[in-house]
Amino acid sequence: MAVGLVIGKLAGVVGASLAAMRLRLGALPEDMGGRHLWGLGALAGIGFTVALFVTDLAYRSAPSIRVDPAKLAILAASLIAGLLGAGLLAPARPAP
């Protein structure tokens, strides 16, 4: 689950954006580069509300022995995604 939130969201956002640009359906803003796109794709992994909801639905009849580790993995993945996104975006900031 944690890998899906971090890597899956990153690959989905970046892949869809690159596909849209290749098909000429969209373009990045002039002041946005590839590092920004990767950083924002990583930050997409922070969205854990739906993951918690789906986990609750999937394990509704299961004991908390399955739900608690899943919630911990979701929280850890959100933290990793946030740190990864910040790490990618911090060097891309323009100098003051």
pLDDT tens digits for range 21-47:
999 999 988 888 888 999 999 998 887
Q: Residue 83: what pLDDT?
A: 95
Q: Residue 94: what pLDDT?
A: 66
**How far apart, in whole angstroms, are the C-alpha atoms of residue 60 and residue 28?**
42
Residues 37/17, Cβ–Cβ less than 8 Å: yes
pTM for the whole thing?
Answer: 0.79
Q: Which residues of the chain have pLDDT under 50?
A: none
**How far apart, in whole angstroms, are the C-alpha atoms of residue 60 and residue 63?**
8
Q: Residue 60: what pLDDT?
A: 78
DSSP state of 62: S
Please tell me the total count of domains within the chain: 1
Q: Residue 24, SS3?
A: coil
Average pLDDT, the chain: 86
Q: What's the token pair of residue 42?
A: 């990583």
Residue 14: domain span: 2-92
Query: Which are the contacts of 47, defined by CB distance < 8 A and separation ≥ 6?
Result: 9, 78
Query: Which are the contacts of 10, defined by CB distance < 8 A and separation ≥ 6?
Result: 38, 41, 42, 44, 45, 81, 84
